[in-house]
């Protein structure tokens, strides 16, 4: 299969978009999982700071 420059650019843009979505969504999934399984009191300090920032800033 021969890739032209345009096809290669589209593939790179899709991969970059998926990486961006992954980078934004995964931290929130960790927060939700930790709070639902262990309760927020057992959540690591870094995640507690993020949770507090999100809930206090509303």
- Residues shown for the chain: 58
Residue 13 structure tokens: 């843009």
43 Ramachandran zone, left/alpha/beta (phi>0; psi -120 to 50): beta
Question: Which tens digit of pLDDT belongs to each residue from 12-58?
Answer: 999 999 999 998 888 778 777 767 766 666 767 777 787 777 777 65
Model pLDDT, residue 21: 94
Model pLDDT, residue 38: 62
Give the number of other CB atoms < 10 A from CB of residue 48: 16
Residue 17 structure tokens: 């978009």
pTM of the model: 0.52
Model pLDDT, residue 24: 86
Give the number of other CB atoms < 10 A from CB of residue 43: 19
Query: Which stretch, 1-5, 7-11, 12-16, has highest mean pLDDT?
Result: 12-16
């Amino acid at each position: 299969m021969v890739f032209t420059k345009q096809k290669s650019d589209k593939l790179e843009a899709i991969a970059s978009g998926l990486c961006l979505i992954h980078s934004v969504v995964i931290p929130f999934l960790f927060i939700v999982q930790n709070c639902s399984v262990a309760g927020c009191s057992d959540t690591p300090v870094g995640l507690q700071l993020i949770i507090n920032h999100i809930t206090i800033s509303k």
